[in-house]
Copies of this chain bind each other. A is one copy, B any other.
Amino acid sequence: MKKVTIHITLKQGVLDPQGQAIQTSLNNLGFAEVEEVRTGKSIELLLENRENMDSRITEMCDKLLANPVIEDYRFEVEEAVRT
């Protein structure tokens, strides 16, 4: 059993209106030190052990989880114990 954490972020240069809205709100709340905000997603998968796991995860990201045109992704794999 493996726990995979996938981090998905917008590529450099892609506009992030949600991040801009968060920045404006933080500035308005008195956090003037905030200069830039970028938002992203994280997805945690619990996987049965399989061969070629890394390439299968890459396939999941390219096919469904991320949009490779505007998003970058990276993932970490660790041992998981079912709780």
Q: Please, how many residues of chain A have a CB less than 8 angstroms from a CB on the other chain?
A: 33
**Chain B hits for A44, CB < 8 A:** 9, 36-40
Q: Which residue of B lies closest to A39 (CB)?
A: B43
**Chain B hits for A39, CB < 8 A:** 41-44
CA distance A9 to B26 in the complex (A): 20
A42 contacts B40, C-beta separation under 8 Å: yes
**Chain B hits for A63, CB < 8 A:** 29
Give a binary string over A38-54; 1 marks a CB under 8 Å from any B CB, 0 the rest: 11111111111110000
Mark A residues whose CB is within 8 Å of B. 1, 7, 9, 19, 22, 25-26, 29, 31, 33-50, 56, 59-60, 63-65
